[in-house]
Chain A
């Protein structure tokens, strides 16, 4: 009976296998078009990459569609202003630009205190487009620079993934990084910040370096040096590269993976990269003089020692003799290096680590020593929720990826593991460094996904064959029979694999949904324009910032000096086109502390300070009417802390009641009479903000204010925006003495 059924089965199988050929012969024209498997794969790969490239770009356009094509947040406005200057005045003017519109009366040497990479990139794109006869506005170029570079990053991620694992992992990495919220948060359209191009440069440098290590080719090392140069020109985060790469080299040396390839790659990259980096004025000689860069130099010297030892080993045939020699050389090299570092540091030639660097290594350092760093919300330690928010499934794919990396350890996987672990530590220290960790997390997770899917699908495929050969009743080879036994040991292997695959794709689709949701809800707001839902579900826009800045731009004398907290400095100079006392480039702590002191003093004292700074207008941000919580009153304690850090007259406890910060009747008298309080709540006591609440009810803090009868003596209200978010006061000239 069995014999009867089998031929029938085989026949039916024969027909199924022949059917493609039959189709091909019947549609002969298609046969000539049929691609070889290799070509098919290439076509698929290019198509996927092309789609990912486009996806990465359009996923970042939510903000343009929801709001408009505009520059976001704070720092981007400075970048935009400088780019505008660059395109209008040319590179030399830009390089030598002394900006008298900020940090009045000190001014700022723009060319020497910025990373010009972003501006030059945008300007080059702009000029290229103009050359190609596309007369776009520089603003559009600036707005779309970040998405464009995000797209390019996906390509680099693909090549990087291909280099450390295989093409599949590369493709998955490209897809993951294209929509990863951790990266999107800094690269949506309009987020024209250094990070936009820096992540591309960072990943490119790493990729080229790994490629150089893998191939030992000078060309790739050279490429990596130039990638490093681009990174240095774009972002201060280059310090991460110049510390991670030596650390990686050191690990390779310790684990006995020293090779000529490594020697070539590192030396070329370090020497050329250093020389190139010195061309950036803001970095200058830091490469040979600052503590942060000494690790790289130490490893460079160590490489030479290794090379030398290798040579000696080759010359000496006696292992015992070599061991002694090795001991002596290594000790003396370390000694010499240590002494040189000690002398350099003691003599002041080598500067010690900066506060920022310390605060990266030790999360609690900034809180105690540098309030100005700690005051920035994006410098806070990361909460678990934001990891989950920014990484979603990558968070648990990451350890899986690490497992695969350790399973197939190579120079490249060691690199990605080190990159992943170090950057993840930094991401835990500071929220904004999630960005740096994102490419590594994506790559390692991509390895996990790709390896898992590959294993599962191969399981499925072999399973089918086994069942076919299995039906031939032991006529198959020994290989087939072994598979049969395997099959028998795990009876639900096929079903299990299918279930797992479905699970993987379910997770990935959840990831895609989560990313889109996060992008559209959380990361696409320009933060200049605030949106809220009205009572009838309609969308209400609070455009108060621009209202105020535009009022400044149009209706104040062109040489007016505006005092505000430093957060708004860049926006005032860029949108208001007026001189500010302090801005987001927090280079002079004393100056900021002076402003903090003025804000926290009473009006008379503040007036003296403002007179000494030639202030004409004071701008405060106030959310009491709209319930906008990130206003100056909520930032006020930082002003007190920063002011008090330089001027001990200002004491934080004076503004607190039992360690509590309050603005109502129970607030401390100093608080009720300081300049910031008065400017925010001037005439607010007469306004009814919410039905059923007494006049002067502060919606941002949910309480009735304590001082409703505010009289201003030296200032007068010059302008208040329609929702009271920005209030501008004019500083009156001193009254004539009688």
Chain B
């Protein structure tokens, strides 16, 4: 037995004996039924109290007391009345005259109890750390035994007329239990009582020593980050520091024994943790400091998503691990609007079943630009504010930090975070990205267009400028030649039309327009040629250009000659064959010239 708890108990008994004048009203509990469920790692106590006020004074307050060693481990306490169903407010009280070894909670009654009134209270209390492993260290093969200390009599500041206690033990070995009068063990249920007419502050300690197969998984610290994105996602990231709080492993861990079939040894370890996530959870991941953990399974249906995760190694007593799970939830399931405000309505506690959290920190990250933030929680939590920077944030996102110690499954109730957010803020990040790229492209454009040379008079710079000019001129020459060639083609086309329709007039008109066009073009060509000749850096190109122009002229002449011949032939109404024979030689020359011109053009193109 733990030394401290023994001292606690002795102290408690002593003070109860010493307690002289009760500072409490004269209520009487006509019937008390207590059920303690210790099938899991915590003790869940359900009490039904029938309260009668026999005195003359009306009472509006009811006191619940626990011995300190239980009170310190009280994780959750709720008091309800059955008719009408209502939750009663509970707060920790510190009345005078009560010794330190007792924790007192005061319950505000729904209506004052006047003389003779009765009221039935349903009390649910969850205690963590009350199942003490005993022995404290076991080997791999041994079974896990724990010990529960309680009182067979209900500790109360009021007189109890009738009471009973039943303890629900796991369906396994029971090593020993305190045998008092009226003690019965039925299967896995241990019963004490009923006991009648007990004076206030009656206390009779009992100890139950039994095997527990429950996972003693405790999160020493759990940080839940709930990030709300108005783009349609609520991202939940949970960082767990899990430890096995059962009896510590001593000696070897043998993998062979652990894996042995049919009798594996290592019953005290747990391998899995089950998380019950909200429905439609997606993009689930499970990792730790050093990477992804591949041992997890997921099942989902319309009601829930179940995630079974297996830590990297089985957890024996005293072993620790750290991991992170994360999942996305559809925003529409959790974000609502009321009275011009939006609110996130999301579960407070961890989705892990059978996990006790010693320190829970919930961080609700709201979108950048949220204002007027307020929080409502069903129970008291410590609140603070932070700023978090995420991708593309400038001002940072406001974070509501909620902290609570000793959290159990009963705390999985919804909290509401209210805030104001304008939809225009949604656009700020895409706009930032767009403007970023815009600036990038603009700088590129400016860089390629602008002239950044330092010395504007250096010979290389001048040469470069000149060369650019030469290239530009060349480009112009090329385009003009191309135009000429196009004009030639038009001429050829007109000839073809002529052979088809025999319309000499249109053909002549085409000739005329082409003539004038070609004249204009050759006029344009003149200054360019002159420039190329004068420019020193174009010295190796200008002969080619010269040649090109000469060839083009020649081609023009030949084409004109051919045109004239054909038109004349038609005017003379010569036979087609005759005309063809006449132009055959010209035709060959034209093709050859054309080829040469194209070669030259290609050559210039490659400069």
Contact = CB atoms under 8 A, between A and B. Distances in A.
Nearest to A526: B291
Interface residues of B, number: 47
A372 B253 CA distance: 34
A454 B312 CA distance: 58
Interface bracket on A: 35 or more
Interface string B470-513: 00000100000010001001001100100000000000000000
A722 B587 contact: no
A543 B294 contact: yes
Nearest to A720: B255
Contact of B486 (A21, A529, A551, A555): A21
Interface string B394-409: 1000000000000000
Interface string A373-405: 000000000000000000000000000000000
B249 to A, nearest CB: 10
Contacts of A70: 291-292
A725 to B, nearest CB: 11
Q: Which of A4, A683, A721, A722 counts the most chain B CB atoms within 10 A?
A: A722
B553 interface: no
Interface string A411-440: 000000000000000000000000000000
Contacts of B318: 555
B252 A68 contact: no
Contacts of B587: 6-7, 10
A21 B489 contact: yes
A469 B392 contact: no
B558 to A, nearest CB: 12
Contacts of A67: 292
A719 B492 contact: no
Nearest to A577: B289
B589 A475 contact: yes
A135 B253 contact: no
Interface in A1-38: 3-4, 6-7, 10-11, 13-14, 17-18, 21, 36-37
Nearest to A528: B291
Contacts of A14: 489, 492
Contacts of B251: 716
B588 interface: yes
A717 B292 contact: no
B386 interface: no
B312 A716 contact: no
Given A70-B291, A135-B390, A722-B255, A554 B591 contact: no
Given A550-B288, A555-B320, A719-B313, A683 B254 contact: yes
Contact of B256 (A17, A686, A716): A686
A134 interface: yes
B375 interface: no
A134 B392 contact: yes
A485 interface: no
Contacts of B292: 67-68, 70
Contacts of B62: none
Given A553-B289, A555-B319, A718-B252, A3 B391 contact: no
A6 B492 CA distance: 16
A721 B389 contact: no
A719 B322 CA distance: 17
Nearest to B432: A133
B495 to A, nearest CB: 10
Contacts of A719: 253, 255, 313
Given A11-B496, A133-B391, A546-B291, A720 B254 contact: yes
B392 A547 contact: no
A718 B313 CA distance: 12
Contact of A134 (B289, B320, B391, B589): B391
B580 A7 contact: yes
A492 B585 CA distance: 31
A477 interface: yes
Given A14-B489, A135-B389, A475 B592 contact: yes
A720 B588 contact: no
Q: Which of B255, B319, B587, B596 counts the most chain A CB atoms within 10 A?
A: B255
B290 to A, nearest CB: 5
A251 to B, nearest CB: 31
Nearest to A132: B436
B252 A476 contact: no
Q: Which of A553, A554, A687, A719 counts the most chain B CB atoms within 10 A?
A: A554
Interface in A715-738: 716-722, 724
A134 B393 CA distance: 8
B255 to A, nearest CB: 4
B475 A36 contact: yes
B321 A550 contact: yes
A218 to B, nearest CB: 15
B584 interface: yes
Contacts of A11: 496
A18 B489 contact: yes
Contacts of B493: 18
B423 interface: no
Nearest to B311: A550
Q: Which of A14, A477, A550, A719 counts the most chain B CB atoms within 10 A?
A: A550
A364 B599 CA distance: 61
A549 interface: yes
A546 B312 contact: yes
A630 interface: no
A470 to B, nearest CB: 11
26 contacts: A6-B584, A6-B587, A7-B584, A10-B587, A18-B486, A18-B493, A67-B292, A133-B392, A469-B595, A472-B591, A475-B588, A475-B592, A477-B596, A546-B290, A550-B288, A550-B290, A550-B321, A551-B312, A553-B290, A555-B318, A575-B290, A686-B256, A716-B252, A720-B253, A720-B255, A721-B255
Interface of A: 3-4, 6-7, 10-11, 13-14, 17-18, 21, 36-37, 67-68, 70, 133-135, 465, 468-469, 472-473, 475-477, 528-529, 541, 543, 546-547, 549-551, 553-555, 575, 683, 686-687, 716-722, 724
Across the A-B interface, give the 10 residue pairs with the lowest CB-CB distance, nearest first: A720-B255, A68-B292, A18-B489, A547-B312, A575-B290, A717-B252, A554-B320, A70-B291, A716-B252, A550-B312
Given A3-B584, A17-B489, A543-B294, 8 more contacts: A21-B482, A37-B605, A135-B390, A472-B588, A476-B592, A546-B291, A546-B312, A721-B313
